[in-house]
Chain A
Amino acid sequence: MSMVKLTIDGRQIESAPGTTILQAARSAGIQIPTLCYHERLNPIVSCGMCVVEVAGFDEPVESCATPVAEGMEVVTTSENLSVLRAGSLKRLLSRHPLDCPICDKAGECRLQDLVFEYGVMAEGYEAPPKPREKVYATPLIKYWPDRCVLCLRCVTACREIKGACALDVTENEGQRELVFYPDKCVSCGECLQLCPVGALTENVSAMKGRSFLVKKVPTTCTYCGCGCQMELHVADNRVVNVTGRDDPGVNQSSLCVKGRFGYEFISSNQRLTRPLVKKNGAFEETDWDEALRLVARRFAQVKTESGADAIGGFASARCTNEDNYLFQKFMRAVIGTNNVDHCARL
């Protein structure tokens, strides 16, 4: 496959045919601002931020949707482009309230970042007479219609990544707005993950941490065998939110309903907090020393009376490799049996 040669901001660049100007620029380390663009989605072309000038074209073009061509000369930064981009931002802001102080997204909002970068002031925004309440397709996600800039990332992600098509956009009395199809929604939260503003927020945790105040810990999901990479958002020793991590090799930031919303068990008040010993048929709380002494004594007793093979251990597909390694080491080296297995078959 012969490569296409072009120049971007005066730099010679080679790209595979079919690459867009935006992709070619990014792979060369040249940043073009974007809002609706997402690398996993086909170009949406709704925000107008990624415009660039191409020699021979009368008007600037959207770099996310324009393929490279041999000999193309592209300029990504100019006064004209700055004016156009600022205009696009103003258009977005004209339907977006500056309620950042009470928005979950503040601090990690793409629109906030761009507005800050371009120094745009909100003009012409008129708050609706009363905030519009809109029910989302699922009880787990909240939709804030006033904040939605109709970038259509959510609609596109639901269709292209999940294949659910639970979201669409319609015209209602001259206003474009999102519509939801609850029977198609699987509450995976792909829409939530890709929303660049605070129009879609998680609706599970009552206690919300501001994004810049929570601790974000990268880890691996505890449910199925996909091994999705995620971040646990922790405030006051509680998980308050879970987001997908953009690990290109595993889940590319997607999660499912369990990974994204199934975290309440962690701080459930039904968690076991102290060792329990059964006495006369009922559990009594005890301390670790007593509990472990009892276990050690009974294992030793069974081993003496009936041999090590009278003891068995179930390791766990839920625990870590290190836990499982130690468990089988315990059964083999300390108890002295190979009676160790786990629920792989179930």
Chain B
Amino acid sequence: MTNPLQDVLKSGVIVVTGTNTTANHPIIANYIHEAVTKHGAKLIVIDPRRIKLVDLSHLWLRPRVGTNVAWINGLMHVIIRDNLQAQAYIDSRTTGFEELKKSVVRYAPDYVSGITGIPPQDIEAAARLFATQGPGSILYAMGITQHTTGTNNVKCLAALSMLCGYVGVEGGGVNPLRGQNNVQGACDMGGLPNVFTGYQTVTDEAVREKFAKAWNVGKLPGKVGMTVTEMTATGGKDIKALYIMGENPLLSDADVHHVEKNLAALDFLVVQDIFLTETARLADVVLPGACFAEKDGTFTNTERKVLRVRKALDAPGEAWDDARIITALARKMGYEMDYAGASAVMEEINALTPSYGGITYERLEQGGLTWPCPTADHPGTPILHTHKFTRGEGVFFPIEYEPSAELPDAEYPFVLTTGRVYEHYHTGTMTRKGNALNRLYPEALAEINSEDAKGLGISSGDYIHIVSRRGKLKIKASVSGMTDRGVAFVPFHFYESTVNELTNSALDPVSKIPELKICAIKIEKAA
């Protein structure tokens, strides 16, 4: 997020898109509720599902799944046509406005309505509300990114925000809501194929030399590595061995039949986890790790705030915390790696990572610190791009709408979209282990639109088959107005109803994110 999560309390208008915030980031939904009911903010929900926040919204736009670029361009078209853009901000802080202006000319409300299904007057209203009631915050999640056009969707949202002068101001910003406790931190720490910690690139020789010296090795590889999706795609071919720590791609990746085949083709698979997950079952060696309650460390939340994690109890049996396993394995391979605890690791991170330079355990005792925080006396940076953009000038990218990779047709007439429910988390490895949450949401349910259900002869509680070009799933139906006509939603938490056997592994060319949010299916009532 460019802004803190409580910043919505200072927003005049809030756009929520591609995030079922109430279910997946409940605390942020609390703040949105407070912003609207106590501070008079206007809420615009733009989402194909009738999410809970629609009840609170002033305006709900329901685009067809996968048509994000079209509606965002439509909003920008109206804003520029009516001269509502923040011209002084654009002139002083950005570049590429003229190109953007040209590219959105085509996206008049009538044209956009044809692509998205949103009534033209709603596009007009949303554009005016967003441009005139600022500061405006844009909150989004995987409904924006898990598309073959995900990167373009995000660039468009950034352009919309800059167009109104909302990037770098309180109550504004472009704010991705990250779905996992430490997905921000895993990226920050160099758990990516192209960068070391703090996004220092592996292709930069000076950076490599710095790390090689600190890590006491001759040289470090300079070739950008493979992403998760690329590694699983080449399992058994280019990739012979995999070391998987705390991940369950066999439920979470797209088109998992393929993933399973490729993991099985590996010469050697090591899985380090707290449970024998579906992925761990395929492993040659399983290493028992410790969960968050059993270790010291830090997580970095979605607003870039580094927060302490503290050991509260001992891991069960002979399970070890992950740091101990990694360092012991390194030593077994002849590399000296040893630390006096998590704070000693953080000291090394501080020394090698400018954006984390001042984030020490001593300071974290007083509360979280938001990066960039380069020095011990730096207060942290809750809002990014306040005076100028990190790269200098903000760039408007002109972007054209492109349809999703797999659209419904005569044989597969429905759209499948996936996500999470409030009561469960990711692949259910943790939330499905106890009674409490299972009591509230015991089994997978496919949301089917009530009009569609009528046509198919399906009622809530009936079992149905959902079939895509890649797989077939038997699942119980929940009939409602939550999804639009022609759209089914299935959560991916449930191993016995693995919806990712159906999803499409087509990737966004830049981010390599699979198009989990849309593929074509047919729906049949199960006998």
Contact = CB atoms under 8 A, between A and B. Distances in A.
Nearest to A266: B293
Contacts of B399: none
Given A262-B430, A272-B273, A278-B284, A317 B186 contact: yes
A98 to B, nearest CB: 31
Interface string A296-327: 10111010011011111111111111111111
A336 interface: yes
A302 B299 contact: no
Interface stretch (A87-95, A105-113, A115-123, A223-231): A223-231
Contacts of A331: 243
Dominant secondary structure of chain A at its interface with chain B: mixed
A343 B180 contact: yes
A270 B298 CA distance: 26
Interface in B245-293: 245-247, 249, 252-253, 267-268, 270, 273-276, 280, 283-289, 291-293
Interface in A194-238: 204, 215, 217-229, 232, 234, 237-238
A148 to B, nearest CB: 23
A346 B252 contact: yes
A320 B24 contact: no
B298 A322 contact: yes
Size range of the chain A interface in the assembly: 35 or more
A17 B440 CA distance: 46
A220 B242 contact: no
Interface stretch (B92-100, B101-109, B156-164, B193-201): B193-201
Interface stretch (A27-35, A51-59, A63-71, A285-293): A285-293
Interface in A243-285: 247, 249-251, 254-258, 261-268, 270-278, 283
Contact of B240 (A187, A283, A306, A345): A306
A342 B433 contact: no
B460 interface: no
B180 A310 contact: no
Given A224-B25, A225-B181, A298 B241 contact: yes
B310 A219 contact: yes
Nearest to A190: B30
A160 B38 contact: yes
B513 A322 contact: no
A254 B25 CA distance: 12
Contacts of A102: none
B27 A343 contact: no
B391 interface: no
Contacts of B307: 220, 227, 229, 250
B241 A330 contact: no
B435 A321 contact: no
Contact of A345 (B211, B224, B227, B311): B227
Contact of A325 (B193, B197, B316): B197
A220 B302 contact: no
B275 A272 contact: yes
Interface string B342-372: 1001101100000000000000000110000
B367 A218 contact: no
Nearest to B500: A346
B240 A337 contact: no
Given A264-B436, A321-B346, A324-B182, A345 B229 contact: yes
Contact of A320 (B196, B298, B327, B437): B298
A20 B418 CA distance: 48
Residue in A255, A320, A328 with the greatest tally of chain B CB atoms within 10 Å: A320
Q: Among the interface residues A237, A255, A275, which one has the most CB atoms of the partner chain B within 10 A?
A: A275
A296 B330 CA distance: 8
A275 B291 contact: no
A298 B226 CA distance: 21
B280 to A, nearest CB: 8
A286 to B, nearest CB: 9
Given A257-B423, A325-B190, A274 B318 contact: yes
A216 to B, nearest CB: 9
A333 B212 CA distance: 8
Contacts of A295: 243, 270, 285, 287, 329, 332
Given A332-B221, A337-B221, A321 B189 contact: yes
B405 interface: no
Nearest to A332: B220
A7 interface: no
Given A258-B423, A273-B317, A321-B346, A314 B221 contact: no
A275 B178 contact: no
B311 to A, nearest CB: 8
A294 B285 contact: yes
Given A219-B292, A291-B287, A161 B437 contact: no
B309 A257 contact: no
Interface in A161-187: 161-163, 186-187
A173 B320 CA distance: 59
B217 interface: yes
Nearest to B248: A343
Nearest to B226: A339
A139 interface: yes
B44 interface: no
Nearest to A40: B34
A319 B322 CA distance: 8
B189 A265 contact: no
Nearest to B24: A224
A215 B312 contact: yes
B183 interface: yes
Contacts of A294: 285
Contacts of B178: 224-225
A318 B246 contact: yes
B89 interface: no
Given A312-B226, A325-B349, A345-B229, A217 B312 contact: yes
Contact of A311 (B240, B298, B302): B240
Contacts of A45: none
Tell which of A221, A255, A273, A323 has the most Cβ of chain B within 10 Å.
Answer: A323
B300 interface: yes
A5 interface: no
A302 B267 CA distance: 8
A237 B291 CA distance: 13
B506 interface: no
A124 to B, nearest CB: 39
A323 B192 contact: no
B262 to A, nearest CB: 11
A266 B291 contact: yes
Contacts of A268: 275, 433-434
A162 B239 contact: no
A223 B181 contact: yes
A251 B229 CA distance: 34
5 A-B pairs with least C-beta separation? A264-B434, A273-B317, A227-B301, A320-B297, A338-B225
Given A309-B221, A337-B225, A340-B193, 17 more contacts: A160-B38, A187-B440, A224-B179, A225-B179, A225-B183, A237-B314, A262-B425, A263-B434, A295-B243, A313-B244, A316-B182, A316-B245, A319-B186, A324-B182, A326-B323, A341-B192, A343-B252
